[in-house]
């Protein structure tokens, strides 16, 4: 039986954190053997906020290093950047023409931005459509992501049904989100969802000093014996039995518990950091990986677009 197709992406918008890792990136590594995998850097999505060429270039290179450091194997996974597959922008336009404004106005990301009175560019409004194009153009079966992306995969599913119905074809396959229980929403140091935009992250490649400082700064709820936020993050690194014992033994001793967590985070991050340092000077290798992956992803996308162009009636020869 042929392997299922996995696809996911992360935006090059700053340092990834343990929420990104446990919620999404780790799955790409764990699933690379059993799936035909496509992992990409969502640079066109990042353009909704990153509007500086130097920052964008560095962000892309950084994410490739991050992926390699956590164990993604470019021999097993097609690693590419989204902008090397311009066909997704073409497909997004086609989907735009099938999608209504009120439908997209119900998307969480748009609603949140609007509630915060942010300036919303058309790219941000259209974000879920480009993401649907990323997913559907590669005939994706599974999309490993964190909880905050569930709605985007639902939107992609709606588009499959709509496109296939309107043009009376079976061009697109229904993708499924893969969201791991217990990792769906990793909390940040302030108890909200850990997110680059909330300044509450523990970056995946932080130094020991940074980790100590960040863990010690975790906001604790003083009403109980167990600091819930500390324990929630700790659960990513240790099993329940170990933590039950530790948290019983150190009941009420928040500082000790934070120190224990800090040590566990350091033990986990330090080998990743070392591996990343070793890779840092291999810029040529990174370019080769991206070029090779980009060609594979683009060739597949172009073949799919030929079917799409035919389905909508613009492919005359
Ligand atoms: P951020 O919110 O920090 O900007 P991204 O939007 O770049 O993160 O998300 C990249 C991937 O990481 C997505 O699949 C997303 O669902 C996942 N992710 C982000 N934050 C978390 C979190 N706190 N817990 C679990 N998964 C997360
Ligand atoms: N929206 C995703 C995020 O913020 C990134 C992304 C873009 C993506 N296109 C995708 C994820 C396609 C999975 C599949 O993290």
Alpha-carbon distance 133 to 40, whole Å? 13
Q: Contacts from 232-240 at CB under 8 Å and sequence distance 24+? A: 232/186, 232/187, 233/18, 233/186, 233/187, 233/202, 233/261, 233/265, 234/260, 234/261, 234/264, 235/182, 236/18, 236/22, 236/183, 236/186, 237/261, 237/264, 237/265, 237/268, 238/264
CA distances from 94 to 54, 149, 176, 305, 308 (A): 31, 22, 22, 11, 9
Q: Which residues line ligand 2 (CB under 6 A)?
A: 7-11, 42, 45, 131, 134-135, 143, 145, 149, 152
- pTM equals 0.94
Within the chain, all domains assigned CATH 3.40.50.620 are found at 5-185+283-312
Q: Burial letters for 46-55: b for 16+ Cβ neighbours within 10 Å, e otherwise?
A: bbbebeeeee
Q: Taking a C-beta distance cutoff of 8 angstroms, is the pair 154, 160 a contact?
A: no
Q: Which residues line ligand 1 (CB under 6 A)?
A: 10-11, 19-20, 23-24, 145-146, 148-149, 183, 185-186, 193-197
Identify which of 36, 90, 78, 43 has the alpha carbon closest to the alpha carbon of residue 62: 43
How many Cα atoms sit within 13 Å of 169 on the Cβ side? 15
Can you tell me whether residue 95 is helix, strand or coil? Answer: helix
Q: Taking a C-beta distance cutoff of 8 angstroms, is the pair 145, 177 a contact?
A: yes
Can you tell me whether residue 193 is helix, strand or coil? Answer: strand
Tokens of 218: 């975790």
Select 5-185+283-312's CATH number: 3.30.465.10, 3.40.50.620, 3.20.20.450, 3.30.590.20. 3.40.50.620
Q: Burial letters for 299-308: b for 16+ Cβ neighbours within 10 Å, e otherwise?
A: ebbeebbeeb
Among 17, 23, 144, say which to mutate for ligand 1: greatest number of ligand atoms within 8 Å of CB: 23
CA distances from 54 to 39, 50, 77, 101 (A): 23, 10, 27, 34
Q: What is the 3-state secondary structure (H, E, C) of 109-135?
A: HHHHHHHCCCCCCHHHHHHHHHHHHHH
Alpha-carbon distance 59 to 280, whole Å? 13
Within the chain, all domains assigned CATH 1.10.240.10 are found at 196-277
pLDDT of res. 144: 97
pLDDT of res. 224: 72
| Helix or strand run (H / E) with residue 80 | strand 77-81
| Helices 254-279 & 53-69 angle (0-180, nearest 10) | 100
Query: pLDDT tens digits, residue range 10-64?
Result: 999 999 999 999 999 999 999 999 999 999 999 999 999 999 999 999 999 999 9
Q: Taking a C-beta distance cutoff of 8 angstroms, is the pair 187, 221 a contact?
A: no
The total number of residues written for the chain in this structure = 317
Ligand 1 center from residue 20 Cα (angstroms): 5
Alpha-carbon distance 10 to 93, whole Å? 22
Which residue has the CA at smallest separation from atom 9 of ligand 2? 131
Query: pLDDT tens digits, residue range 7-22?
Result: 999 999 999 999 999 9
For the domain made up of 196-277, give the CATH fold: Tyrosyl-Transfer RNA Synthetase (1.10.240)
Phi-psi region of 286 (alpha: psi -120 to 50; beta: other; left: phi over 0): alpha
Q: What is the DSSP letter of 17?
A: B
Which segments in the chain show pLDDT lower than 50? none
Alpha-carbon distance 262 to 209, whole Å? 10
Query: Which ligand has its closest atom nearest to the C-alpha of 7?
Result: 2
Q: Taking a C-beta distance cutoff of 8 angstroms, is the pair 159, 172 a contact?
A: yes
Among 12, 45, 95, say which to mutate for ligand 2: greatest number of ligand atoms within 8 Å of CB: 45
pLDDT of res. 180: 92
């Amino acid at each position: 039986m042929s392997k299922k197709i996995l696809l996911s992406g992360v935006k090059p918008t700053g340092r990834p954190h343990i929420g990104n890792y446990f919620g999404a990136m780790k799955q790409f590594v764990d699933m690379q053997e059993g799936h035909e995998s496509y992992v990409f850097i969502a640079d066109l999505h990042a353009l909704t906020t990153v509007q500086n060429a130097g920052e964008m270039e560095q962000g892309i290179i950084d994410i490739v290093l991050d992926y390699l450091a956590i164990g993604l194997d470019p021999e097993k996974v097609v690693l590419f950047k989204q902008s090397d597959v311009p066909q997704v922008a073409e497909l997004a336009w086609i989907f735009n023409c099938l999608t209504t404004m009120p439908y997209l106005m119900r998307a969480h990301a748009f609603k949140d931005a609007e509630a915060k009175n942010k300036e919303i560019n058309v790219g941000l409004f259209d974000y879920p459509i480009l993401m649907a194009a990323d997913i559907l153009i590669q005939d994706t079966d599974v999309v490993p992501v964190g909880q905050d992306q569930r709605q985007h995969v639902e939107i992609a599913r709606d588009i499959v049904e709509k496109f296939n119905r309107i043009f009376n074809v079976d061009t697109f396959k229904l993708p499924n989100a893969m969201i791991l229980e217990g990792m769906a929403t990793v909390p940040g140091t302030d108890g909200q969802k850990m997110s680059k935009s909330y300044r509450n992250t523990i970056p995946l490649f932080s130094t020991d000093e940074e980790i100590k400082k960040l863990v010690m700064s975790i906001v604790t709820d003083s009403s109980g014996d167990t600091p819930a936020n500390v324990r929630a993050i700790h659960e990513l690194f240790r099993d329940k039995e170990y933590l039950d014992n530790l948290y019983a033994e150190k009941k009420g001793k928040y500082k000790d518990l934070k120190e224990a967590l800090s040590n566990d985070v350091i033990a986990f991050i330090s080998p990743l950091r070392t591996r990343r340092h070793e890779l840092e000077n291999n810029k040529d290798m990174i370019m080769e990986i991206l070029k090779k992956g980009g060609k594979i992803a683009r060739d597949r996308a172009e073949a799919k677009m030929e079917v799409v162009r035919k389905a909508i009636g613009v492919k005359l020869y």
